[in-house]
Amino acid sequence: MEELPAHDTWQHWFQSHGPKLLLCARQWTRSAADAEDIVQDAFVRFWRHQRHLPGDPMALLVTSIRRAALDRARGEDRRTRREDFSLVGAGEPTAEFVSALEADDRRLALEDALGRLPAEQREVLVLKIWAELTFDQIGGELGLSPNTAASRYRYALAALRRELTPADCHG
């Protein structure tokens, strides 16, 4: 990835890279809204405090997003356990409202297939395709050798090819 040009604005950079970051964040969050919040928070923190650090800006952002998503998931798990504990003896909890996501069939088929991949393969695939990280960068991020990252990527692609029909991918 390129270094940030000195004259680049945050709006231009976010417009160019925001969708990729959101796709990455979506793989580590439970909802699209959580992914949007995490990307926004990570991007603001990056732009204010980290954009002049050495290294690949996209890799810095992906690391920040991944950590924020994992922290949020741990916090939500703790909150759910507390809430469940407080409901003991209070009768049956009421069903939560779940809104349907408006999405096309291709995206749903792809998300469904991605969801069936082993987590370690899905994570490498997302970092490679949407974050555009190299296998060296992915290995550094996940604590793997670049060869292991590349193998997981190949296994993920092969699994997706088996799962998705041409109609799923092309409408």
The structural domains of the chain, with segments of one domain joined by +, span 9-97, 104-163
**What integer pLDDT is reported at residue 141 of this predicted model?**
85
Q: Which of 69-83, 110-124, 132-146 has the lowest mean pLDDT?
A: 69-83
Phi, psi of 117 (to 5 degrees): -70, 150
Between 10 and 159, residue with greater pLDDT: 159
Which among 146, 101, 105, 109 has a CA at the least distance from the CA of 127? Answer: 146
pLDDT at residue 47 above 90?
Answer: no
Tell me the CATH number for domain 104-163: 1.10.10.10
Q: Which of 25-29, 70-74, 82-86, 156-160 has the lowest mean pLDDT?
A: 82-86
Torsion of CA 47, 48, 51, 57, to 10 degrees: -40
Question: Which residue's structure tokens are 């296994």?
Answer: 155
Q: How many Cα neighbours within 13 Å face the side chain of 39?
A: 23
What is the spatial distance between Cα 134 and Cα 132, in angstroms, rounded to a whole number? 7
What is the spatial distance between Cα 19 and Cα 15, in angstroms, rounded to a whole number? 8
Question: Which residue's structure tokens are 């779940």?
Answer: 98
Q: Tell me the CATH architecture of domain 9-97.
A: Orthogonal Bundle (1.10)
CB atoms within 10 A of CB 74: 10
**pTM score:** 0.49
Q: Average pLDDT of 102-125?
A: 78
Degrees to nearest 5, angle at CA 24 with 56 and 65: 65
